[in-house]
Amino acid sequence: MSAKGKCLCGAVTFTADEVETHVHACHCSMCRNWTGGPLLAAQVGKIEFGGEDNIKTFRSSEWAERGFCSVCGSNLFYRMIEPNMYIVCTGSFEDAEQFSLGGEIYVDEKPKGYDFAGDHPRMTGEEFLKSIGMAP
């Protein structure tokens, strides 16, 4: 499926295709530091941006960067550099109702002060890395 979205100020817009609607919540300390809370983001097959000049990226690790709007500061995406893969913040999409929580990752880094309800897989950071073939 295809879906549209934008940052808070509208300087960056996007149309994403092949949007995965079962999303992961990531509780890792980097995501929490970046977003101010857990990161809910959807993997997309393809994405085209409008106002691309307004996107700034921060290389947060050897293998990934994080993109945000340089005007309003909205977090937009996490991008795996190799292979080129965008995981887009669910809050940036026009229609938030299309998403459901498919799993939680880095539960070992989750602060004890909140919990997500629901019966879905919960993986530690190590279990998650193993599941995507990136175990240390």
Provide the binding-site residues for Zn ion, judged by CB under 5 A. Answer: 7, 9, 11, 26, 28, 31, 69, 71-72
Nearer to Zn ion, 1 or 34 (CB): 34
Exposed/middle/buried for residue 30 (C-beta within 10 Å: 0-12, 13-18, 19+):
middle
Nearer to Zn ion, 7 or 40 (CB): 7
* Of residues 131, 114, 123, 121, the one with CA closest to residue 22: 121
The pair of three-digit structure tokens given for residue 66, joined into one six-digit string: 């994080």
CB of 117 to Zn ion, least distance (A): 20
CB of 116 to Zn ion, least distance (A): 14
Nearer to Zn ion, 2 or 61 (CB): 61
* Of residues 33, 73, 28, the one with CA closest to residue 54: 73
